[in-house]
Amino acid sequence: MAIPSFVDRVTLRVQGGNGGHGCASVHREKFKPLGGPDGGNGGDGGSVVLRVEPGLTTLVEYHRQSVRRATNGQPGRGDHQNGARGDDVVLAVPDGTVVSDADTGAVLADLTGAGSEVVVAGGGRGGLGNAALASSSRKAPGFALLGEEGEARTITLELKVVADIGLVGFPSAGKSSLVAAISRARPKIADYPFTTLVPNLGVVVAGDTTFTVADVPGLIEGASEGRGLGFDFLRHIERCAALVHVVDTATYLPGRDPVSDLDVIEQELARHGGLEDRPRLVALNKADVPDAAELAELVRDDVAARGWPVFTISTKDGQGLTELTFAMAEIVRARRAAQPAAQPARIVIRPEPARRTGPEFTVVRQGDGEGGELWRVRGHKPERWVRQTDFGNPEAVGYLADRLNRIGIEDRLLELGARAGDAVAIGGDDAVVFDFAPQVDVGAEILSRRGEDQRLESERPAAQRRREKDAAYHARRDGEGEWGEDDDE
């Protein structure tokens, strides 16, 4: 199957890099084998960023490859060496790209303006090493925190052409010919319907005003419901400052006339919605044909009665094009003067739990239908702490228990009637489940207090033996000295 050259809608899977794990290390050197914790932090994972590139006009690159991943952060190392941060993946998109969540349909960002960017999948945070976890009460942590996983989501990219003027009309009305006549664009032009299969953009200069014109292909009756090509391309005129109806006054098709063509196109625009406030201009095209020029004069007053400026034009001999382009330029100038200059901005999308306000956690009692109870704890902090914990390290599990108790989860469970032995789950589908044991020190199997190392507080056996030998030597010397003095007397 051939890959199209123009793609204006794609679905993309993006994955941020995972954060590197922290390092649990103890500084060692000659005559100082236990010099304290020196484990470095893990590096943050890279993010997936969308950035507007003015030169792009299609999303075809993501049609070919629909999965993009950022690199992971590196783990920390001993000697206070932090892991390297993962590289960001910057994806170039055309100006006018709308980013939405493919699962929920929520619009995440509307990227307009060169340099505008949005972080669609943030990298995971790197875990802290034991050097960063050390404190006055926890002098030698024997554990480190794990790095967090990067965000993953499926997004939809939808291109809405950023043009000042949109040309609408039936197929073969002369829209592409008008673009070619007033700009340097050279779209495909032929005498059969649906010659134009993609929107064409042209840059027009009228006096001291430069603006862009977009030709929207495939509008016929029923376009807003999927007939023709209008269903796919109607969105490309949503950003236009004004719409120009290009009307074919020389059509040979039965049942077609300029007024009925206007009514059909306006009906489709109304069904699409959101274009009611756009100024309209009407271009009665193909005035170079004798019968068409006469028809244009007959319907001119009827069209003007709707309050729209009317221009009789010919893309073949240039009749009326100057007046039309300057009328377009006047609308564009007025719109630009009324709008503030857009400033490129970096948008960072954060998951909903990180933005919520209120309690740090919630506890819900759930029954299993057989007399057992399950207490489910949800909250950004406790769920994040669980993901950072190495459950193969008893000291790390004890540190997690201390953190959970610090924000009051154990007290809240007791208030709600939880009893020892009840199942407690922290998180959603991938929750960590454990038995509730209030007032039990999880790290009790450690001989010292959690986060301390008795080896750093007590003397090494070699030092004790040397101290004993020194004491015995001094005792003998002092004893011999006293005996020697008595003997001299």
Annotation: binding site for Mg(2+): 176, 196
- Please, which residues have CB within 8 angstroms of residue 87's CB and are 6 or more apart in sequence? 17, 46, 70, 71
* H helix count then E strand count, the chain: 13, 19
Q: Annotated binding site for GTP: which residue ranges?
A: 169-176, 194-198, 215-218, 285-288, 314-316
| Calpha distance 227→170 (Å, rounded) | 12
Question: How many Å apart are CA 473 and CA 480, to the nearest integer?
Answer: 11
| Backbone phi, psi, residue 272, to 5° | -65, -40
Q: Are 291 and 337 in contact (CB under 8 A)?
A: no
Tell me how far apart the terminal alpha carbons of the chain are, to the nearest angstrom. 118
- Locate all alpha helices (DSSP H) within 94-249, ordered by sequence: 130-133, 175-182, 230-233
Q: b/e map of 3-38 (b: 16 or more CB within 10 Å)?
A: eeeebbebebebbbbbbbbbbbbbbeeeeeeeeebb
Residue partners of 255: CB distance under 8 A and separation at least 6: none
* Tokens 């400026």 -> residue: 309
For residue 228, the one-letter residue type is G
CA–CA dist 29, 49 (Å, integer): 44
Return the structure tokens found at 248: 């074919």
Name every residue whose Cβ is closer than 8 Å to that of residue 448 and which is 6 or more positions away in sequence. Answer: 454, 457
